[in-house]
Amino acid sequence: MTSVATPANFNELGLIPPLLARLTELEYQQPTPIQAQAIPSVLAGHDLIAGANTGSGKTATFALPLLQHLFQQKSVDKSLSNKGNYVSGLILVPTRELAKQVADSIKSYSAHFNGAIKTLAVFGGVSANTQMLALRGGADILVATPGRLLDLISSNAVKLDLVKTLVLDEADRMLSLGFTEELTALLALLPKKKQILLFSATFPDQVKALTQALLHNPIEIQVQSSDASTLVQRVFTVNKGDKTAVLAHLIKENEWRQALIFVNAKHHCEHLAEKLAKRGITAEVFHGDKGQGERSRVLDGFKAGEIDVLIATDIAARGIDIEKLPVVINFNLPRSPSDYMHRIGRSGRAGEVGLALSLIDHEDFHHFSVIEKKNKIRLEREQVKGFEADEVSSDSITAAEKPMAKPEGTGKKKRKKKTPVNTINADIWSGYADPE
């Protein structure tokens, strides 16, 4: 991947005054690395493949140039708005909540355009009629989940033949099995000539194949996570039967303002919430079996800080931006290593201090090692004081004791029962520099 000269402030990026004024109001003091590297290329009309971690400021990276192009085009060609059911900028995202969030961000960035740019979000789980009405006369920017967009197209509520820019956000997810059919159908409806911007934290083979087939001489930018130091990752070995007790203990002892807890199945959300309730902790749940009204209520409540503890499945793992979320806890490990990165990326966003904890029992050791290996991390196994795991396998030897290069599965020296490695107090920040 090529690296591009990096402007240090927004004024140097070539953005127009209404956008710069808004960024000042939003107190964005300087571009994030992906913004600094990508915005000039996108403004120049290039296709883009951007590899950037979640929380790195991706939305503004595509939204600001897109808004600028549309605003400038509309100033020149006033007839654009009269083309029925047109869309100029199309942003495809994998989840309903992300659609709403991205559209809200774009509306916020457009604050000084005096209503010249119309942005809409369309997604499933809510009335299609309302969305059809809103789409009358088209939209400059449409943020959509693929299934609902196809429904709206088949009802003639929207047409894609005037799309000038296509953004695929969370492209690795968009190209996963669950979406390929819908995405193929949508791509066939788009005009041949268009700018494509593709964002993905990871680049699996499907993404690479798509970039070759679709993109035209793309600029490729890979931003290494410079925020890594602001997100502290820790892993605790616990007995399987103690997991809920440990979770409750950590929540109570640390007095986090909020916590997002990930589990692997929808029914586990309710189950864990009930168990926490018995320990005096009120938690709300968020998963795909909830109606859209309830999903919105819970997520909005969590974002507004009205809900302290949220238990969720991986539908909350992608792109969702919760300001200053202090901690993400993997109560169950995610199946895929990339989902681990997406989950923990809900905390420590945009350079803020964050914390990601994983609770692993003995059955998780191997899987957690795979997650580490794939994500090129290695965490010291720790234990929570008062909840020491019965026995600690070779995987629980600290990083210093077990050299990274040592092949997996060697040195299977079992430790004696109740011999904690690096036992800690519940105070998660103990031993770490003051986050300030």
Which residues of the shown chain bind ligand AMP in the complex (CB under 6 A)? 28, 31-32, 35, 55-60, 321, 349-350
Q: How far is the CB of 5 from ligand AMP (least distance, A)?
A: 18
Q: How far is the CB of 323 from ligand AMP (least distance, A)?
A: 6
β partners of residue 283: 309
CA–CA dist 24, 120 (Å, integer)? 24
Q: How far is the CB of 349 from ligand AMP (least distance, A)?
A: 5
CA–CA dist 152, 102 (Å, integer)? 19
Which CB sits closer to ligand AMP, 60 or 67? 60
Q: How far is the CB of 49 from ligand AMP (least distance, A)?
A: 17
Which CB sits closer to ligand AMP, 59 or 233? 59
Q: How far is the CB of 59 from ligand AMP (least distance, A)?
A: 3
Which CB sits closer to ligand AMP, 26 or 209? 26
| Residue 213 burial (C-beta neighbours within 10 Å; 0-12, 13-18, 19+) | exposed
Q: How far is the CB of 26 from ligand AMP (least distance, A)?
A: 7
DSSP state of 268: H
Which CB sits closer to ligand AMP, 47 or 321? 321
DSSP state of 314: G
β partners of residue 381: 235
The three-class DSSP label of residue 373 is helix
Residue 252: CA count within 13 A, CB half-sphere: 12
CA–CA dist 106, 110 (Å, integer)? 6
CB 185 within 8 A of CB 144: no
The three-class DSSP label of residue 280 is coil
Q: How far is the CB of 228 from ligand AMP (least distance, A)?
A: 15
The three-class DSSP label of residue 310 is strand
Which CB sits closer to ligand AMP, 138 or 348? 348
Which CB sits closer to ligand AMP, 290 or 318? 318
CA–CA dist 288, 167 (Å, integer)? 24
Task: Give the rounded distance of the alpha carbon of 122 from its chain centre.
Answer: 19
Which CB sits closer to ligand AMP, 57 or 420? 57
DSSP state of 199: E
